[in-house]
Structure 1
Amino acid sequence: METDVTTALYPPERLEAVREATRRAGIGALLLTPGPDLRYVTGYHALPLERLTCLAVPASGEPFLVVPRLELPAAKESPAGGLDLELVPWDETDDPFALVARRLPGGVSRVGLADQMWAAMVLRFRAAMPDAEQVVAGTVLRELRMRKSAAEVAALREAGAAIDRVHRRVPGFLKPGRTEREVGRDIADAIIAEGHTAVDFVIVGSGPNGANPHAELSDRVIAAHEPVVVDIGGTMPSGYCSDSTRNYCVGEPPPEYAEYYEVLRRAQDASCEAVRPGVTPEAVDAAGRDLIAAAGYGKHFFHRTGHGIGLETHEEPYIVAGNTEPLEPGMAFSVEPGIYPGAHGARIEDIVVCTRDGHERMNTTPRELVVVD
């Protein structure tokens, strides 16, 4: 990424915003090991290793980043190296957990640990700070990460365009007699070719496998006139993720499939159109779910309507019944209702961002069924 784009995505002032949020939460310090939280705060995409890398953000006092000495060059070259942040290397014979504990201000009684911190590290920190209550850092960071900046929305828009380009190539991969696994390999190659740095998942669900929302690639041979669900996503150089589902059929689809697919298309559109500031996630869920139920397919839609997306494919907010936290501008999430009767299934998924006056879809490929000749 270019320097100005990196700075916009991972601005220096974010450290101070995290420290202030930590203070407001009544937590003495956040301790963030490699993962999306560390990258969000510093821009450092650190390797998850058995050697401790840990960003410490005290509620009072200066933040510091503890790194294994052999990882110090990578930390310096990352966006973290350009922050007003002390880098503290440790050697192989040091105890880095005790090092972190010693450098924290006195009187820290609660520490927030990265949600994805390895259990072995959690226990080492507990031993190093036996008098400090451990809580999850997500309670602090969710309020920041859930509301995307203009730069983050731009990164999601770029990711959406990249995965859209992959979907436009999918019809060329779908032929009767090919297996799901063969098609999946072609799609994975296309995900990288279209600008992603990593393939996060590829679902090619043909026939009855399309009725399994999380179907694994298999050696099942795709037959003529079979619907195929293609749900794909990856990570861009920015660190932000793509995720989009479209539906294909090799030849004309079965009549009963075409019937419920039209219901699904209208339901997905209804949920997207419901997105605007002040609306609750459960209302977005209900907008499409109620339409599907009214058409008689309610029991065949058995998962939430969507999940937040950003540096992770699944993060807050979740678009599900019971979530009554009003949507705000900058919140980004999938809208992906599905209908899965059993012999086949369908799901339509776009990434949607709540804007000041409505919403924007990050995916623009047609949502109609694509019939492959």
Structure 2
Amino acid sequence: MVIAAFSASRRAGVPFPRSEYKRRQQQVLQAVDCAELDALLVTAHGHLRYLTGYHGFGGYFAPFALILVPGRAPTFVVREYDVDAVRAEGCVEEIVPYTHEHEFANVCADLLRRLGLQARRVGFELGCWNVAPADVSALQILLPGLKIVDATRLVASVAAVKSELELKMMREAMALTDLAVRTFQKSVREEVTETEVYAAILEEVSKAGGELWRSSTLVFGERTKVPHGSAIPHQIRKDEPAMIEIGGVKHGYAAGLVRSVVLGRHPETESLHTLSVKALEAAITAIRPGVTANEVDAAARNAIARSRRPRVFRHRTGYQTGIHWTERGNLSLEPGAADMLRVGMTFHIPIILFSEGGYLFGCSEHVLVTDRGAEILSSTPHTLYRA
């Protein structure tokens, strides 16, 4: 059963013009053709939002699948419970509903048959969230002739290059991030708690009519030894460090930033921060169209290697940004990554280092690749803030 879309006047939740989503879908379909696929089944929430406007969160329980086939309109397979939300917040005309989780494979398989894809090469986002091995195996059992191809990177490769409209969203998101960071810096004082500072940040961002990414790091003192630590009622005291990783959001476009503060003096983390700045600036200098993701990563690692403290850096140098901060399968600045940088790409480069005493400390920048190199989107300096 296909449920037709309703009046465009009820699409109040779709943030961009319909033409923007059609442009994105067409570019993805071109990539489908280049990959010699007959269709693409998109399930990652960030990619669904990029291609339809719908945020995809209704798929937390069972997969939502956007099926893209060259030469025909896209079809969205979703839970019946969420059909009205998909209509209100998305721009796909053809919606095929199912009621219970165990029905997804049967409904999707039936649709693939009707589209003539039961024995064709269909791309699946096997390396992303929101499609489980059980979903894939159930479809393969129902359609034994289906040729499932891993297309994890396909939508990400298109979404990596931002349109002017998307860059506007990234700049507006970064303005909110900068506001959050300035509030953090002004709020750090002796005996204030992490939760008090986070509440102050929320208040200021709310006053500005903005929103924050739902998961933020905010840690004081000994808790800077905790990766991805969320705010708790923990006080900061004199001669202790503080670090935040936070991102403003505009229509799903998140602009993350890492900033650090020392209340008084803390030589161990101050030394880490100095090295993180050197590595960050080396990575930024290496960014230009035509270089590989590996080369940018190597620039940061070489700066750290010269310090004779190579074990302080234990993660990738950065990653592609845009809709959905934590999507798997996106372009990554890491060793061996062969992806080539292009004008219009945006990256978050968090250089967070580990001290021998276990502290995590550092800074980051959010950059846009231009024909001249890297443009830093933040207006907040990445130098260490002393409170």
TM-score normalised by L of structure 1: 0.85
- Which of the residues 179, 187, 192 maps onto 1:173? 187
Deviation at 1:15, TM superposition (A): 2.1
Cα shift readout 1:202-250 (whole Å, capped 9, x = no counterpart):
21232343244433444543111111111112532x1111210111122
Name the counterpart of 1:37.
47
Q: CA RMSD in A?
A: 3.1
Contact map agreement 1:191 1:199 (CA 8 A) in 2: no
Q: Matches of 2:369 and 2:351 in 1, distance apart?
A: 18
Q: Does 1:15 align with 2:28?
A: no
Name the counterpart of 1:63.
74
Deviation at 1:188, TM superposition (A): 4.6
The 1:189/1:57 distance shift into structure 2, 3 A limit, reads same
Name the counterpart of 1:151.
165
Identity %: 27
Name the counterpart of 1:353.
368
- Which of the residues 312, 316, 322 maps onto 1:304? 316
Q: Matches of 2:63 and 2:15 in 1, distance apart?
A: 29
AA aligned to 1:37 is H
**Is the partner of 1:48 in helix, strand or coil?**
helix
TM-score normalised by L of structure 2: 0.83
Contact map agreement 1:308 1:332 (CA 8 A) in 2: yes
AA aligned to 1:29 is A
Deviation at 1:259, TM superposition (A): 4.2
Q: Matches of 1:339 and 1:262 in 2, distance apart?
A: 10
**Is the partner of 1:336 in helix, strand or coil?**
strand
Q: Matches of 1:214 and 1:262 in 2, distance apart?
A: 21
- Which of the residues 280, 286, 289 maps onto 1:274? 286
Deviation at 1:8, TM superposition (A): 7.9
- Which of the residues 253, 259, 263 maps onto 2:265? 253
The 1:197/1:96 distance shift into structure 2, 3 A limit, reads farther
AA aligned to 2:55 is H
Counterparts of 1:40-119 in structure 2, within 5 Å, are: 40-46=50-56, 47-48=58-59, 50=61, 53-59=64-70, 61-81=72-92, 85-89=93-97, 95-106=106-117, 108-114=119-125, 115-119=128-132
Q: Matches of 1:143 and 1:126 in 2, distance apart?
A: 26
Name the counterpart of 1:138.
152
The 1:308/1:193 distance shift into structure 2, 3 A limit, reads farther
**Is the partner of 2:76 in helix, strand or coil?**
strand
Q: Matches of 1:233 and 1:356 in 2, distance apart?
A: 26
Structure 2 unaligned spans of 5+: 1-10
- Which of the residues 252, 262, 284 maps onto 1:239? 252
Q: Does 1:203 align with 2:217?
A: yes
Cα shift readout 1:31-63 (whole Å, capped 9, x = no counterpart):
224611112122222321546643211245443
Cα shift readout 1:145-184 (whole Å, capped 9, x = no counterpart):
2222222222112111111111111134323223334434
Contact map agreement 2:176 2:249 (CA 8 A) in 1: no
Deviation at 1:3, TM superposition (A): 9.5
Structure 1 unaligned spans of 5+: none
